[in-house]
Amino acid sequence: MQFQLAYSELQWSDLQFVLQGLWRTILLTVLAGVFGTLLGGVIGWARESSAAARHLLAPYVDVTRSIPLIIQFILINSAFAAFGSALEPLEIGVLTLSLYMAVLTSELVRSGLRSVRPELKKASRSLGMSYWQELRLVSMPLAVRTVFPGWIGTLIGLTKDTALVSVVGYIELLRAAQILITRTNEALLLLTGVGVAYFLICYPISHYSLAVERRMEA
C-alpha cells in the first residue's frame, strides 16, 4: 500500500510564524553575544595575567573548543534534566552559546593583550599609573583595536550557530522554516527566504564594524 503526503499551500499566517522564529534568532544572538563577550573578556584577562588562572581554566577552554557545538547543547540539556532542573530551550541555548562565545572571545582577548608592547606597559607604570589604570587606559584600548575584527567574525558565526539550538526544541528561524517545509514542500522558497534573513542580520553587523574600525584608526 502506498501513502501520499498531503501538502498545503503557504498562508499569510505562516509569515508571522517565520517572523517569530527570526525574532527568536535575534534574541538568542543578542543575549549569548552579550553574556559570552563579558564572560570571555574576564576569562581572557585572567588567563593572560595569571598562570594559575591559565592552568585552572585550560580544561574548560580546551573541552569547549574541541566538542562540536550541537553535542554541547545535548549534553548541557541532559545534565540539567538528569538533576531534576530542566531548563527552557531558550535558557539552554543562551547558556550553551554564551559559554561557547566566552571561550572564543577569551582567546581573542588574550591575543589582544599580548599584542600590546611591553615597553608601553613599562612606560605607563613609570609615569605612576597603577596596574588597573594602565590596563584601562593603555592595554585595553590597544587590545580592543586588535581584537575587534575577529570579535565581529565570531559574532556573525554565533548568529549562524543559533540554528543548532533546535536540537533542544527551540524554534528559531531555520527550525520554523523546516516545519513549514514539511507541511508545504516549498523548500526552495523558504530556504531562500531564510538565507536572505540571515544575510540581513549579518551584513549590517559587518558593514557597521568597518565604520567602527575606521573610527578606531583615525
How confident is the model over 33-83, as pLDDT tens digits? 999 999 999 999 999 998 999 999 999 999 999 999 999 999 999 999 998
Least confident of 88-97, 122-131, 183-192, 197-206: 122-131
Percent of the chain topping pLDDT 70: 97
Mean pLDDT over 88-106 rounds to 96
Helix (H, G, I), strand (E, B) or coil at 33: helix
Contacts 24+ apart (CB under 8 A), 209-213: 209/148, 209/149, 209/152, 212/148, 213/148, 213/149
DSSP 135: I
Q: Could you give the count of Cα atoms lying within 13 Å of 120 in the half-sphere of its Cβ?
A: 15
Contacts 24+ apart (CB under 8 A), 21-27: 21/171, 21/172, 21/173, 21/174, 21/175, 21/176, 21/177, 22/173, 22/176, 22/197, 24/90, 24/170, 24/171, 24/172, 24/173, 25/159, 25/162, 25/163, 25/172, 25/173, 25/174, 25/201, 26/201, 27/90
Label residue 128 by pLDDT band (50, 70, 90).
confident
Residues 6+ apart with CB under 8 A from 46: 53, 54, 57
Burial-class residue 104 by CB neighbours within 10 Å (0-12, 13-18, 19+): buried
* Packing angle, helices 140-161 and 89-114, rounded to 10: 150
pLDDT at 26 over 70: yes
pLDDT score of 111? 93
pLDDT score of 2? 46
pLDDT score of 11? 84
Q: How many helices (H) and strands (E) does the chain have?
A: 9, 0
- Between 3.30.1490.20, 1.10.3720.10, 3.40.50.720, 3.30.300.30, what CATH number should domain 13-217 receive? 1.10.3720.10
pLDDT score of 218? 67
* Packing angle, helices 140-161 and 187-217, rounded to 10: 180
- More confident site: 110 or 5: 110
Q: Where are the domains of the chain?
A: 13-217
How confident is the model over 146-191, as pLDDT tens digits? 999 999 999 999 999 999 999 999 999 999 999 999 988 889 999 9
Mean pLDDT over 194-205 rounds to 93
pLDDT score of 84? 87
Burial-class residue 98 by CB neighbours within 10 Å (0-12, 13-18, 19+): buried
Rounded to whole angstroms, the Cα distance separating 25 from 101 reads 15
pLDDT score of 210? 85
pLDDT score of 3? 46
pLDDT score of 5? 56
- More confident site: 50 or 29: 29
